[in-house]
Amino acid sequence: MPVTVVVLAAGQGKRMHSALPKVLQPLAGRPLLAHVLEAARKLEPAAIHIVYGHGGDTVKAAFADQPDLRWALQSEQLGTGHAVMQAMPSIPDDHQVLVLLGDVPLVRTRTLQRLVNDSVEGELALLTAVADDPSGYGRVIRDERGEVARIVEEKDATDDERRVNEVNTGVIAFGAAELRRCLASLDNDNAQGEYYLTDVIAMSAQRGIKVHGIVVDSATEVLGINDRAQLALAERTLQRQIAQDLMSRGVAFADPERVDVRGTLTVGRDVFIDVGAVFEGTVELGDNVKIGPYAVIADSKLGAGTLVHPHSVMTGIVAGPNCEIGPFARLRPGADLGSKVKVGNFVEIKKSAVADGSKINHLSYVGDATIGRDVNVGAGTITCNYDGANKHHTTIGDRVFVGSGVMLVAPVSLGEGATIGAGSTITKDAPAGELTLERSKQATVPGWQRPKKKSPRS
């Protein structure tokens, strides 16, 4: 039976105190809604409907690159039942409907598959959780046979019902035809004045339809995100899961509780990651890569044996095998390092290729440049690539030695084996194999006196 997923994502999230819609709040570098969609897509559904409301244009824009999504507007927030109604007109009767919540991001695909499997014969499957503190949740009321009879929202519950600690998660699977009949009979005669999706539970049970109450293995899997504290809890929970998965693939952590992966991290063998490291976007680490404390690496690929020292920042770079980077290095998009390249402390590289064995050890800026093999770039060297309007290229041949404090005013080329004297400002091409330097005549002014500050009384 085809499955159609309906994701409820119309909530405002007032307790977030944010201009950003709740389902766009970031979790491990992606919106909450993106995590829900990832789990849903693994079921290979026939369609995914997003019911949106608050911040609707912003939410749609965030997922504009996903044309398979279908959008249904809930212009007034009149309850979860009313939200599902907005998506039902385009769902065929012979489909199963799986209702998910856009602010419940940790639910796993295998759990959703259990719901789908249990509702395949026209029955209803409801995901529940056992909570230490059920306050704020709808209670799952079972009959004398232990089967789910109804859901009672907390504001409508009796004192005895409030003592029940099995709660509704809001995740439900149901045949579309029966769900449509139940939704048509909903009313809003309750303390909230809303159309509750949970009321279909009692309707179905009264019609003799079996309701499967599937208790989730861990309540954290169905944690709903309503405020910053819950978002932080979900972040740590997800990061812990990611770290466990990486350790199962051989990664060693100095402390798995102090790492953040905000995207996809692919690893080789014997990788070591120290405390405070942050990985964003798509990052690939080869065998024996070692990441030092508080490094930030985004959308980059590091070759086998590369060592990253503390506090280095990399975005959109490629490093070959056995490179050494940092500490306090900044590699910007387009930095392409060969093998055994050394980039030292307080060095910035942008949109430049640095070939095998070259070294840029201290306090230098390299931008829009091509650097050959076995080049040594001295401390304080700058490629002056920007003239105020346009960027210009610097080319440095193999085995060039650039002294300290050199300004290379692009466009400029240094031939193979050239030596550039310290303190030079190079504005013309330097020939291969020769020493090129530029020095103003040093002068001393006899008897010169340093200015003194005037006395406050004068």
Q: Are 357 and 341 in contact (CB under 8 A)?
A: yes
CB distance 220 to 232 below 8 Å: no
- Phi-psi group of 304: left, alpha or beta (phi > 0 → left; psi -120 to 50 → alpha; rest → beta): beta
> Partners of 318 in the beta sheet?
301, 336
User: What is the 3-class SS of 222-285, one letter each residue?
Assistant: HCCCCCHHHHHHHHHHHHHHHHHHHHHCCCEECCCCCEEEEEEEEECCCCEECCCEEEEEEEEE
Residue that is written with structure tokens 């824009």 in the block: 61
SS (H, E, C) 411-442: CEEECCCCEECCCCEECCCECCCCEECCCCCC
Q: How far apart are CA 209 and CA 178, in angstroms?
A: 10
Contact 300, 312 (CB under 8 A): no
Could you tell me the CA-to-CA distances from 412 to 113, 338, 342, 402 in Å, in that order? 62, 22, 23, 13
**What is the DSSP pairing of strand 148-152 with strand 139-142?**
antiparallel
Q: Which of 343, 345, 351, 356 is nearest to 367 (CA)?
A: 351
DSSP result, 88-154: GGGS-TTSEEEEEETT-TT--HHHHHHHHHHTTTS-EEEEEEE-SS-TTSPEEEE-TTS-EEEEE-G
| Look-up of token digits 């911040």 | 55
283 pairs with which residues across the strands? 265
Contacts of 97 (CB under 8 A, 6+ apart): 3, 4, 5, 6, 84, 88, 91, 173, 174, 175, 176, 179
Residue identified by tokens 């029966």 is: 178
Alpha carbon dihedral 60, 61, 64, 65, in 10-degree steps, equals -130
Neighbours of 449 (CB within 10 A): 6
Give the list of residues 6+ apart from residue 238 with CB closer than 8 angstroms, or none: 27, 28, 105, 106
Q: Which residues are catalytic, by number?
A: 362
